Amino acid sequence: MTMQYDTFRREYISGGMSRDMLDTSPIRQFEVWLEQAVNAGLKDPTAMVLATVDEDDLPWQRIVLLKGLSRGGFVFYTNYGSAKAAAISHNPRVSLLFPWNELDRQVIVGGRVEKMTLAESASYFVTRPRESQIAAWASRQSRPLSARALLEKEVQVLREKFGKGQIPVPDFWGGYRVMPERIEFWQGCEHRLHDRFLYRLQPDTSWTIEQLQP
């Protein structure tokens, strides 16, 4: 039996959004929505889809976790040898998507990536669970793996190597900051008449707000 995807639909009834409900700063507005997502009990409120374009001009997406808002930018951490890092090196312009479906909301961020300093990355690395620190050392992210047992063996080797001592920050691991140039807030409404507001960064670092048709 072939599933009929075109029959899947529902009404969005969580409520609308108006211009006077928005903060003049998209970062502050994002923080309000993120807090509401957390308080609503969403399972992964900080999960965001990161879209990049690689050297073959192929767009690619994956989910990463937001780890902070620093200097007005959205922060995440990864292996600097990963496919996403290679794509960022090729084209530092990326997009983020926060899919808060349970609240009939999404936030889309478009901007340019900058690499965080070693001190900034180290400050976060020391707060990670020990097993996550070891995993950062063990994984050569995005490279082929012939058998999972090899990765697990490397993890065990590193556990023995580091013992109970402090684990240093790998020189191939660290943070990125996405500096936003556009941020769109989308609120689902009944009859597909959704509310959309787009913030655009201006040369003087102020933000304009424009309502978009659904």
DSSP string, 144-205: --S-HHHHHHHHHHHHHHHTTSPPPPPTTEEEEEEEEEEEEEEE--GGG--EEEEEEE-TTS
Question: What's the burial of 208, exposed, middle or buried (CB within 10 Å: 0-12/13-18/19+)?
Answer: exposed
Report yes or no: 27 and 72 within 8 Å, Cβ to Cβ.
Answer: yes
Catalytic residue among 19, 71, 143, 192: 192
What 3-state class would DSSP assign to 50?
Answer: strand
* Residues 6 or more apart whose Cβ sits within 8 Å of residue 54: 60, 83, 86, 87, 90, 91
Told to judge if 192 belongs to the known catalytic residues of this protein, a careful annotator would answer yes
Residues carrying an active site annotation: 192
